[in-house]
Amino acid sequence: MIRTLLSRDLPRSRPLSAMLLVVLLGLMLAPFLVSGARSLNVAATICVFVVLVASYDLLLGYTGIVSFAHTMFYGIGAYGVGLALHGMGPSWWAVFVGTAGALSLSLVLALVIGLFSLRVRAIFYAMITLAVASAFSVVASQMSDFTGGEDGRTFKVPEILQPSFRLFDAEILGRVVDGKLITYYLVFFSALALFLFMLRIVNSPFGRVLQAIRENDFRAEALGYRTVIYRTLANCLGALIATLAGVLMALWLRYVGPKTMLSFEVMTDILLIVVIGGMGTIYGAVIGSALFILAQNYLQVLMAQASAAMSGIPFLANLFHPDRWLLWLGVLFVLSVYFFPTGIVGRLRIKALLRGRP
Amino acid sequence: MSDPLLQLAGVHTHIGQYHILQGVDLVVPQGGITVLLGRNGAGKTTTLRTIMGLWHASRGTVRFDGGDITQSPTPDIACSGIAYVPESMGIFSDLTVRENLYLAARSVKRAGEMDEARLEWIFGFFGALKKFWNQPAGTLSGGQKQMVAIARAIVEPRKLLLIDEPTKGLAPAIIQGMIAAFRELKRTETILLVEQNFSFVCALGDSVAVMDGGRIVHSGSMAALADDRELQHKLLGLSLDAHQ
Amino acid sequence: MTSISQVASQDSALPKVRVDMLPLLLVPVLALLMLPLVGSFPTWVTLTVAGLAMGMMVFMMASGLTLIFGLMDVLNFGHGAFVSVGAFTATLVLLPMKSWVEAESVWMNLSVVGLAILLAMLVTGLLGWAFERIIIRPVYGLHLKQILITMGGMIVAEQLIHVIWGAEQIPLQLPATFRGAFIFGDAALEKYRLIAVGVGLTVFISMFLVLNRTKVGLLIRAGVENGEMVEALGYRIRRLFVGVFVAGSALAGLGGVMWGLYKETLTAAIGGEITVLVFIVIIVGGLGSVGGCFIGAMLVALVANYAGFLAPKVALVSDILVMVTVLLWRPQGLYPVAKR
Ligand SMILES: Nc1ncnc2c1ncn2[C@@H]1O[C@H](COP(=O)(O)OP(=O)(O)OP(=O)(O)O)[C@@H](O)[C@H]1O
Ligand SMILES: [Mg+2]
């Protein structure tokens, strides 16, 4: 049963299985384990990022495409529902229209960019997507009548998802079943489903072809696979799933804005997570997102303390300033590209292989 | 003068995961033209590239002029006195003919200081170069490009020239000219010449080696091979008559 | 020797020299077409000079990148870091020597800016050297890793700027005599823009001379086309490449100083923001082509300026529009570089 769910692509390492289980249980039970809006927010963000990063891994890790437009698709999803709910009022119909509209726009954009530039080399594609994504984000923040500009838009979600909604009067396990909880589980189960779907994709014949293309362009072409078509398909698939991740995030935050949805920082985060977690493993997205988001929210507290302790020494204090945590992640990122390009998951699997047991 | 100028012993070369050269033993004596024959894909180009250090041998040794160059980087090999005319000619098409030759003349610091007498000697058999001296080399015809490529190799004295299929795609009339040029060249130079065109080399070569499947399957004197139709047929799969 | 002359007599017709003039015409034709659209001649002059100035600054930043790519097939996604570092290094001179900056003397202004530029180029050049050794060298030929690692290098560099210079914006004052504009009739030409055009032209001409008249320059051009053959002729292409990398980084540093003075405020993201524009320019020009990069920079910047005046909304995406249009016309950019 589990085998089928995971598409026969098991974690293949005991510590990895254990970590995945911890993350899964932690996210599943988060509303009951932790209290406070912030912690639940962390959990929901992890769920969304697992999907977002895994969909990026589909491109980077499995197909060898470097795209810098992934946040654009994420943003399209978020803005799609956000603006629909803002304009049409809080109904499921608006959610549907927004999602459908966003998916279509993403699909068209992914197709156009793909057909336009995937024929040429990886580097070209990376540059073009970077340019397109940055233009998109400029346009989105300039069209303030429509998108709310830099401030973004807050909006109301359908009633059942609103924090003030109560499903029962009684509490369950010491927690009121309110709209926030329902939204959390909507996010969690959608994320889980999308994750399993991606696992299925990469282990399907289609996924194998993608990997063949990544390993050797010419050979794959010689075997008769039209690499451009496969790449474009992978590109569209990744874009669509990223769009859905954006939809989930918007529903959770009840807000869309360029800083959280479209900025280049989100793109850097995705890159850091996918590389540190482990490219081409899908599971890397889970481990990477969990560690990254937790670190982003809690490591900074530690760094603030370290920085305060060193406040006498100007340079060092700056070095450990909580805002500088990206510096350390950047260093970790560069080191991992060199020394363990398969990331945490790859490491654990190699260890397991060397020990000669699963 | 007992040592050969160039000697490959048991050379294996891998390109990626492919095992291309499978133990090449080849000797190029000092002076004259040594011809390397073989059907398409036999490994001739790979042999030259291995000598030049553009691929590195995974086993075996390449000795040149008393030194081991097996693992030397390409620029060092070039500086030790080997010039290379690749199959694709390697012309710098943006640069003029003059600039192409200027870059090949390593010891010359300014374009104007190239050895006039030597240039005239080159123009003696490749007159077109003089005419197109200041033209971008990319605008030349295939035959003229081949002349530029060979001229680059001889613009300064070198100990050994590696020339890969200089007659590829050339009209018969031009090939006649090339033969004459090589006759002239071989008086002073040592050349390892890769060819498919047997009629072209049988008139030129002094010694010959034949490759197949990444190995040398025959070596000896050109005269002997030219006389032995049966051997030709066996080694090259064609007879001279059929070829002409 | 009759047969010898036979070789010579073949193909006696002079081949036609195909100099591709069309892209060269783009910039003047565009400027002339815009004249009636803009309507007023003085406004047109101002816009054109503004566009050229911006184009020159972008060219300084982009030229190194395109050569680095052409020569070694390395695309440095962290190139923008050199722009930022250059601009921030300049503050080490410009802030302490404030009195020289504020003095109403052309010579004092010039020398303080000159000093800032020199220091910035030195620092970015050295940084480029280190960057090539530490970051790039291990990933030659591995495009995917190159993109990732140079991106990582960019993040680290940007953060280090925060560590060294603090997270606040730094105001950068334009020297006293560089401020203001020359008035010709009704057209106002900002002095600093003219200076930028002058510096940019100087860089372009020097680069042109080096690439066409010196052995090193010819080797670089030859290496862009066929690096293997350059090695087979006995030159170490790695050394050439390190040289180009250092020079390209120093030019990015120069561009950073000029750009920083133009914007008059510095943030660590200055390089990252300009990277997109730089990429568009080198794609438009044809990856690896310096001449194409120059025309591309002018084209993109001029279109941005005209569009900003004629249709401000379009200006937001004008760069992309230029890129798409050019690529539809020539999929490899204005001057595709012949590759082995
Ligand atoms: N870059 C490469 N990658 C993989 N295989 C290669 C490569 N270059 C050559 N080969 C293979 O090596 C073998 C020998 O090639 P090589 O070019 O040396 O042959 P050749 O004798 O020069 O042939 P030709 O007469 O057609 O030029 C061929 O089977 C070829 O397919
Ligand atoms: Mg060959």
Looking at the domain assignment, is residue A15 inside a domain? no
Type and span of the H or E element at A82: helix A70-88
Which residue in C58, C156, C274, C287 has the most chain A C-beta atoms within 10 A of its own C-beta, making it the best mutation to test that interface? Answer: C156
Nearest CA to ligand 1 atom 1: B15
For residue A267, give the nearest of C154, C76, C66, C160 by alpha carbon: C154
The model's pLDDT over B61-83, given as tens digits with 9 standing for 90+, comes to 999 998 999 999 999 999 999 99
- Average pLDDT of the residues in A196-212: 90
User: Among the listed ranges A171-175, B66-70, C152-156, C211-215, which one has the minimum average pLDDT value?
Assistant: A171-175
Is pLDDT of A152 > 70? yes
A334 closest CB neighbour out of C149, C163, C275: C149
The arithmetic mean of pLDDT across residues A77-89, rounded, is 94
The Cβ of residue A4 has, within 10 Å, a number of other Cβ atoms equal to: 9
Render pLDDT for C321-339 as a digit per residue (tens, 0 to 9): 999 899 888 888 898 876 5
Q: Residues of C near A (CB-CB distance < 8 A)?
A: 69, 75, 77, 135, 138-139, 143-149, 151-153, 155-156, 159-160, 162-164, 166-167, 272, 275-276, 279-280, 283, 287, 313, 316-317, 319-320, 323-324, 327, 331
Smallest CA–CA separation between C10 and chain A, in Å?
Answer: 39
Q: What is the pLDDT of residue C339?
A: 59
> What pLDDT score does A358 carry?
46
The domain tally of chain A equals: 1
Chain centroid offset of residue B57 CA: 19
Q: How many angstroms does the Cα of residue B47 sit away from the middle of ligand 1? A: 10
Q: Are A321 and A299 in contact (CB under 8 A)?
A: no
Give the pLDDT of residue B241.
44
Report which of A18, A1, A4 is spatially closest to residue A283, judged by C-alpha positions. Answer: A18
A130:C276 CB<8 A? yes
Question: Does the pLDDT of residue C285 top 90, yes or no?
Answer: yes
Angstrom distance (rounded) from CA B94 to CA B210: 37
Q: Give residues with Cβ within 8 angstroms of A293, minimum separation 6.
A: A42, A45, A46, A49
At residue C17, does pLDDT exceed 70? no
- What's the pLDDT tens digit per position in A1-11? 777 777 777 77
Cα–Cα distance measured from residue C91 to residue C266, given in angstroms and rounded to the nearest whole number: 9
Q: Is residue A187 within 8 Å of A284, Cβ to Cβ?
A: no
Q: Is B213 in the pocket of ligand 1 (CB under 6 A)?
A: no
Q: What is the pLDDT of residue C19?
A: 62
Q: Does residue A2 lie in a domain region?
A: no
Structural contact between residues B232 and B225, judged by C-beta atoms closer than 8 angstroms: yes
CA A296/CA A142 separation, integer angstroms: 29
The answer to the question of residue A251 being in a domain is yes
Mutate which of B8, B12, B14, B15 for ligand 1? The one with the most ligand atoms within 8 Å of its CB, which is B15
Dump pLDDT digits (tens) for B17-33. Answer: 889 999 999 999 998 99
Mean pLDDT over each residue of chain A, to the nearest integer? 86
Question: pTM of the predicted model, to two decimals?
Answer: 0.85
By residue range, what is the domain housing residue A171? Answer: 22-355
For residue C290, report the distance from its CA to the centre of ligand 1, in Å: 34
Query: The tokens of C297 are what?
Result: 């920079």
| Long-range contacts at C279-283 (CB < 8 A, ≥ 24 apart) | C279/A127, C279/A130, C279/A131, C280/A131, C280/C319, C280/C320, C280/C322, C280/C323, C281/C58, C281/C59, C281/C62, C282/C62, C282/C65, C282/C66, C282/C69, C282/C333, C283/A124, C283/A127, C283/A128, C283/A131, C283/C323, C283/C327, C283/C333
pLDDT of residue A259: 86
Please check the confidence at residue C5 and state whether its pLDDT lies above 80.
no
Q: Which of B84, B141, B174 sits opposite C7 (nearest CB)?
A: B174
Hey, what are B177's tokens?
Answer: 């000219």
Q: A238 is written with which tokens?
A: 């990744």
Contact A236, A107 (CB under 8 A): yes
Bridge-based pairing state of the strands B207-212 and B215-221: antiparallel
Helices marked H in chain C — which ranges?
2-9, 22-38, 41-72, 79-94, 98-102, 106-131, 143-165, 191-213, 215-232, 237-263, 270-285, 290-310, 312-315, 318-329
Mean pLDDT of A100-106: 96
Find the CB nearest C145 among A130, A324, A337. Answer: A337
Buried/exposed code over C37-72 (b: 16+ C-beta within 10 A; e: otherwise): ebeeeeebbbbbbbbbbbbbbbbbbbbbbbbbbbbb
CA distance C151 to C279: 14
What's the CA gap between A180 and C248, in Å, rounded?
53
Q: Let me know if residue A11 belongs to a domain.
A: no
Does a structural domain hold residue A1? no
Read off the amino acid at residue B21. L
* A122 CA to centre of ligand 1 in angstroms: 26
Contact C263, A115 (CB under 8 A): no
- Rounded Cα distance between C232 and B158, Å, is 13
Is A158 inside a domain boundary? yes
CB contact under 8 A, A333 and C283: no
Q: Confirm or reject contact between B133 and chain C (CB < 8 A).
A: no
Whether ligand 1 lies within 6 angstroms of the CB of B42 is answered as yes
SS (H, E, C) C129-173: HHHHHHHHHHHCCCHHHHHHHHHHHHHHHHHHHHHHHCCCCEECC
Ion ligand 2: residue ranges with CB closer than 5 A: B 45, 87
* Lowest-confidence region among A152-161, A219-228, A331-340: A219-228
CA gyration radius for chain A? Answer: 21
Q: How far is A254 from B103, CA to CA, in rounded Å?
A: 66
- Mean pLDDT score, A213-234: 76
Instruction: Indicate the pairing of strand B18-28 with strand B6-15.
Output: antiparallel
Do β-strands C187-190 and C181-184 pair in parallel, antiparallel, or remain unpaired?
antiparallel
In chain C, what percentage of residues exceed pLDDT 70? 94
Q: What is the pLDDT of residue A224?
A: 66
Tens-digit pLDDT profile for residues A275-285:
889 888 889 99
Nearest to C317 among A139, A323, A341 (CB): A139
Ligand nearest to the CA of B210: 1
* Model ipTM value: 0.91
User: Which residues sit opposite B56 in a β-bridge?
Assistant: none
- Rounded to the nearest angstrom, the minimum Cα separation between C241 and chain A is 19
CB A35 within 8 A of CB A303: no
Q: Within 10 A of C131 (CB to CB), how many other CB atoms are there?
A: 23
Interface of B with C in 14-53 (CB under 8 A): 52
Question: A198: closest CA among A153, A146, A241?
Answer: A241
User: Could you tell which of B11, B35, B45, B164 is best to mutate to test the pocket of ligand 1, judged by most ligand atoms within 8 Å of the CB?
Assistant: B45
Which among A120, A271, A324 is the nearest to C159, CB-wise? A324
Give the model's pLDDT for residue A350: 84
C167 to chain A, closest Cα gap in Å: 9
What CATH number did the domain enclosing A261 receive? 1.10.3470
CB contact under 8 A, C316 and A139: yes
Q: Does A338 touch chain C (CB under 8 A)?
A: yes
Ligand whose nearest atom lies closest to the CA of B20: 1
Strand partners for A171: A176
Rounded Cα distance between C170 and C154, Å, is: 20
Tens digits of residue pLDDT in A18-68: 999 999 999 998 888 877 788 899 999 999 999 999 999 999 888 888 899
For the cut 50, the answer to whether the pLDDT of residue A351 exceeds it is: yes
Q: Which long-range contacts (CB under 8 A, 24 or more apart) does B201-207 make?
A: B201/B33, B201/B35, B201/B37, B202/B226, B202/B240, B203/B179, B204/B33, B204/B35, B204/B179, B205/B33, B205/B34, B205/B35, B206/B29, B206/B31, B206/B32, B206/B33, B206/B34, B207/B29, B207/B32, B207/B34, B207/B35
Residues in chain B with pLDDT < 70? 1-2, 238-244
Ligand 1 within 6 A of CB of B20: yes
In the beta sheet, which residues pair with residue B82? B160
Average pLDDT, whole number, for chain C?
88
User: In the prediction, which pLDDT does A101 show?
Assistant: 96
